[in-house]
Structure 1
Amino acid sequence: MNKSTQATVNELLAGSVGGAAQVLVGQPLDTIKTRAQVAPKGMFKGPMDILSQTLRNEGFFALYKGMASPLLGVAGVNSLLFASYGISKRFLSPYPELSLKETALAGAMAGAANAVLASPVEMFKVRMQGQYGGKDDKRLRAVVSGMWREYGFRQGIMRGYWVTVAREIPAYAGFYGAFEFSKREFKKVYGDNLPVWALLASGSTGGIAYWLACYPLDVVKSRIQLRATPPIGTPVQYIAHELKTIVAESGWKGLLRGLSPSLIRSVPSAASTFAAFELTREYLEKVTGA
């Protein structure tokens, strides 16, 4: 196995570890974020009301509702993301350290590739989180089989794919660009062997940049994926229609509904993702020499 192939394998394995850390740390706040985006108007007063009602009516583990979907798919999704990012970097430049513009472009390319797996994982997570503890709530297996049976692969399993692509491109450009910027600033002070807290801080910066770069599209994605029927028209048409609908219903602030729990969540979840990835990759580099 040549060094380039081994490096990709290392990134696949490290991405799985980083993704698992992200889901375990960030799922409760992700549930609050999704419910803020898709709940019927007037159902909740804000993020804290979502938290209190969820705990009171459904119990603590309802905050982890829908975790099976990202946790089961996280190995593939994050492996694909980090490996695509590594491949994109090597495609853009033969040198190990890219400019920040090249880093952001590599992140955008990785985000586009990542949407292939992220879209169905997100779709099933959103549909699980959009259940509020009623007697008709379904298990993940029933949700998956129902979507497949009723709508098939494209309109069922892959519903929201194009809006996921539209979200992932700017999101991961910001994600990797901000992470690399922060990491390089820390390296000016601490050298190449960064302390773990510096990796955590850099990851948090990347996570915040991720949401700031894409949040309105995330609201659109969640609403489209939760709706009972598939969207109509071309991706541009139904994304534009959903944006107009959100503004008509809730004003411009509707495009940012649920942003605060997302930003709060991004600090520990992105920090743990990057720290777990970087530490695992560095370990594998020492073991494999690639």
Structure 2
Amino acid sequence: MSVTATKPSLPQGLAEHPRKADGGTKNYKGFVAGVFSGITKLSVGHPFDTIKVRLQTTDHSQFKGPLDCLLQTLRNEGVKGIYKGATPPLVGWMFMDSIMLGSLSVYRRILNDNIFNPTRELNFGQQPKLPVLGHAMAGTMAGWTVSFIAGPVEHIKARLQVQYQAQKAQRLYSGPIDCLKKTFRNHGVRGVWHGLSATLLFRTFFCFWWGTYDIFTTALKSHTNLSTPAVNFWAGGLSAQVFWITSYPSDVVKQRIMTDPLGQDRKFPRWRNAARAVYRERGWRGYWRGFVPCFLRAFPANAMALVAFEGVMRALPE
């Protein structure tokens, strides 16, 4: 499971003990379960993401708000319109999940063994618990790592999402492969990875996601009688919302950069140019345009993805 912007789910027990993810579960189970989780998260969350991206990348005159954007999209393009650009994140999900959670586990272990608990002393046979700061640091490092895969996936997705023509023949890109080919042919590798620096900055805020996930998990286990899957469900959904509250302005700027024309027609040569353009158009409110569908998406998409992940993990044989 992972976070794009589409955003990551949270395997049971991952937050509590850095070594726990290293053993016990067959590798193929996580891979297969991650596929089902990705499909579930995309099915639930992608329509919200499409509305978010369209609000982020258009001026105020085109859409009055999230509901108007949704209604115009459905009226002009049908249900397929809200699932535009869904193929790239679906295809890339298992790779992003694997890299995200794999690197997160490694970074947690490295931080625990070499910085926070370097003596590796055990308390009654238990590995010393990584503190919240360690979870936050590991989250940021894992976010940077997965950015090199997530960047191109989100770039292609964003360009497909802002194609408003109902007929395929009228669109610049007929699909994700066509978009990737044209981008690479005309602008090379740098064109495909356009917006990588903005992606790295955005995923720096993963520190809030994974840090608060540990806080919520500890609090729910201490003060409720919820089962472990239920704790993961609520902690995952709540921490996802904390992440978006803290990171959303950087996501708005990132989307502006990723949908900016490439080549000589480029409007935003640097991150600060895009940030200034957002402020110039609508002031501080511009950095929060499209936040409502994003915030509404965060909890159900990640919570349902976790339900699918845990269900498949339990169903698969050892």
Q: State the TM-score, normalized to the length of structure 1.
A: 0.86
CA distance in 2, matches of 1:72, 1:29: 19
**Post-superposition offset of 1:250:** 1.3
**Secondary structure of the residue that 1:43 maps to in structure 2?**
coil
Residue 216 of structure 2 is matched in structure 1 by 182
CA distance in 1, matches of 2:22, 2:234: 29
Which amino acid in structure 1 is aligned with residue 240 of structure 2? G
Aligned residue runs from structure 1 range 131-210, under 5 A: 131-135=163-167, 136-137=170-171, 138=173, 139-154=175-190, 156-170=191-205, 172-190=206-224, 193-194=227-228, 196-210=229-243
Per residue, is there more helix in 1 or in 2? 1
Runs of 4+ in structure 1 over 3 Å off: 3-12, 14-20, 94-97, 189-193, 230-233, 273-284
CA distance in 1, matches of 2:56, 2:218: 35
CA distance in 2, matches of 1:225, 1:96: 42
- String of CA shifts for 1:10-48, please: whole Å, max 9, x gaps: 796254443333222200100000000012441100001
- Pair 1:60-2:97 in alignment: no
Residue 215 of structure 1 is matched in structure 2 by 248
Which amino acid in structure 1 is aligned with residue 258 of structure 2? Q
CA distance in 1, matches of 2:264, 2:137: 30
Which amino acid in structure 1 is aligned with residue 276 of structure 2? K
Which amino acid in structure 1 is aligned with residue 177 of structure 2? R
Query: Identity of counterpart residues, as a percentage?
Result: 30
**Secondary structure of the residue that 2:130 maps to in structure 1?**
coil
Aligned residue runs from structure 1 range 111-122, under 5 A: 111-122=143-154
CA distance in 2, matches of 1:174, 1:231: 37
Moved more, 104-113 or 210-219: 210-219
Contact 1:123 1:225 in 2 (8 A): yes
CA distance in 2, matches of 1:148, 1:110: 27
**Post-superposition offset of 1:198:** 3.0
CA distance in 1, matches of 2:90, 2:65: 27
**Post-superposition offset of 1:276:** 4.2
Contact 1:17 1:75 in 2 (8 A): no
**Post-superposition offset of 1:204:** 1.0
Aligned residue runs from structure 1 range 32-47, under 5 A: 32-47=51-66
**Post-superposition offset of 1:87:** 0.9
- String of CA shifts for 1:162-197, please: whole Å, max 9, x gaps: 110000011x11111222211211211456942x43
- String of CA shifts for 1:190-236, please: whole Å, max 9, x gaps: 56942x43322111112101211211111111111111125999x9x
* Residue 41 to residue 157, structure 1, CA distance change in 2 (3 Å): same
Contact 2:47 2:83 in 1 (8 A): yes
- Pair 1:76-2:67 in alignment: no
* Residue 279 to residue 206, structure 1, CA distance change in 2 (3 Å): farther
Q: Among residues 70, 86, 90, which one is paired with 1:51 in the alignment? A: 70
**Secondary structure of the residue that 1:112 maps to in structure 2?**
helix
Which amino acid in structure 1 is aligned with residue 188 of structure 2? G
Unpaired stretches in structure 2, ≥5 consecutive residues: 1-20, 114-126
Contact 2:221 2:231 in 1 (8 A): no
* Residue 112 to residue 277, structure 1, CA distance change in 2 (3 Å): farther
- Pair 1:123-2:155 in alignment: yes
Residue 6 of structure 2 is matched in structure 1 by none
How many residues align? The count is 279
CA distance in 1, matches of 2:130, 2:26: 17
- Pair 1:20-2:76 in alignment: no
Larger radius of gyration: 2
